[in-house]
Amino acid sequence: MLEASVLERIGIAIASTALALLIGLVIVAAAGHNPARFAYQLIVGSFGSGRAVARTLRYSVLFVLAGVAVAIAFRAGVFNIGVQGQFVVGGFTTVVTIVSLAPYLPEGTIGGVVLVVVGTVAAIVAGGLYAAFPGVLKAYGDANEIITTIMLNFIAIGFVGWLVAGRFGDPEATATRTERLPDNVGFPSILFDDPNLSIVGIVVTLAVVALVAAIMTRTRFGYDMVTSGHQERAATYSGVDAKRMIVSTMTFSGMVAGLAGAIFAIMIQGYFTDPSGIGNYGFDAIAVSLLAANNPVGVIPAGLLFGGLESAGSHVQINSDVPVQLIDGIVGLVVLFVAVPELFRMLAQRTGLGGDAE
């Protein structure tokens, strides 16, 4: 039955994506534009040149990491809707940590590597702690984690925005942002002729996917996570502290989200700006995870799809008269078609109303 369920979810993902693209082309035609040209621009904007591929991979790195963060929680039966906030906290912590420590470390490659490592670890810790808070509220206060994580998104965005505009803002910058990271801090641009993409970011992303997949499927900790989320009584009966495991699940999820924020700050921005304008990577990651059936490995192709659509959006806006908002519409259709059956399935499992659905 498990194999059939996996095949069913793969079918849902493929059919949802294909149907969303088909409806998007119909809408383009109904609006008086050439759907064939629109489809061509989507392909060219995503993978039609070296620059487009680099841009797609840049976005995909963030979607994959954020998607894995969501998948960890969802697969364990916990709804972490706060990945965006954990992403923001992680990225901001990285920049503040690096900028604060830079004067005390030697310039050059060695000092830069130390700053990158310390800043990344700080982001992982910050993201984990920020996610642990709603985990504690759920486990020990019976709070609804959907509501608490959504609210913590807005708190993170607002509070970090206030800090960037005030205490940690760069007074010499024309825009609202922190100081730039030192010149010796960054990832090497190997293989890609793009200053905002590094093979290091891609390798780290793939390593995180492999590590999370191994933990979730090959370790006792991963088994206890899934059991505690879906069958708390069974987990307690087998000697597992289900409440503590819920907190651990949220913390683990937030750590990956914090890492995504660190990659964003170091590889792409080089500083941190008002979080209300950095993109909705954490929110889109919910759809990425659902498209992958909450499978960490499946998040890779799902993240590539969303990265390609994000990359194609800017290309379409420049090279076509088709409104770029249609890209957002197609993404929304993918989210809708994927999320509805998956969310009903998850709710049925959680409430025990699904019977033998699996």
* Nearest alpha carbon to residue 337 among 14, 52, 7, 57: 14
User: How many helices (H) and strands (E) in the chain?
Assistant: 13, 0
8, 134, 299 from 59: Cα distances, Å: 28, 28, 13
The pLDDT score that the predictor gives to residue 213 is 96
Is pLDDT at 4 greater than 50 in this prediction?
Answer: no
- Domains (ranges, CATH) in the chain? 2-351 (1.10.3470)
The pLDDT score that the predictor gives to residue 357 is 42
Q: How far apart are CA 79 and CA 150, in angstroms?
A: 10
Cross-strand bridge partners of residue 177: 273
> For residue 43, which amino acid is it?
I
Contact indicator for 242, 235 with CB cutoff of 8 Å: yes
Give 267 or 39, the one with higher predicted confidence: 267
- Average pLDDT over all residues of the chain: 88
Is pLDDT at 348 greater than 60 in this prediction?
Answer: no
The pLDDT score that the predictor gives to residue 175 is 85
Q: Is residue 2 very low, low, confident or very high in pLDDT (cuts 50, 70, 90)?
A: very low
Phi, psi of 260 (to 5 degrees): -60, -40
The average pLDDT across 65-76 equals 96
Phi, psi of 177 (to 5 degrees): -165, 170
Q: How far apart are CA 21 and CA 281, in angstroms?
A: 21
* pTM to 2 decimal places: 0.90
Residue whose entry in the numeric block shows the structure tokens 């392909």: 43
Q: How far apart are CA 285 and CA 188, in angstroms?
A: 26
Q: How far apart are CA 352 and CA 231, in angstroms?
A: 10
Query: Can you read off the two tokens belonging to residue 355?
Result: 């019977």
Q: Is residue 338 very low, low, confident or very high in pLDDT (cuts 50, 70, 90)?
A: low
Q: What is the pLDDT of residues 169-215, one digit of tens each?
A: 998 888 899 999 999 999 988 888 788 999 999 999 999 999 999 99
Is pLDDT at 356 greater than 70 in this prediction?
Answer: no
Cα angle value 65/69/75 (rounded, 5°): 130
Distance from chain centroid for Cα 53: 19
Contact indicator for 254, 132 with CB cutoff of 8 Å: yes
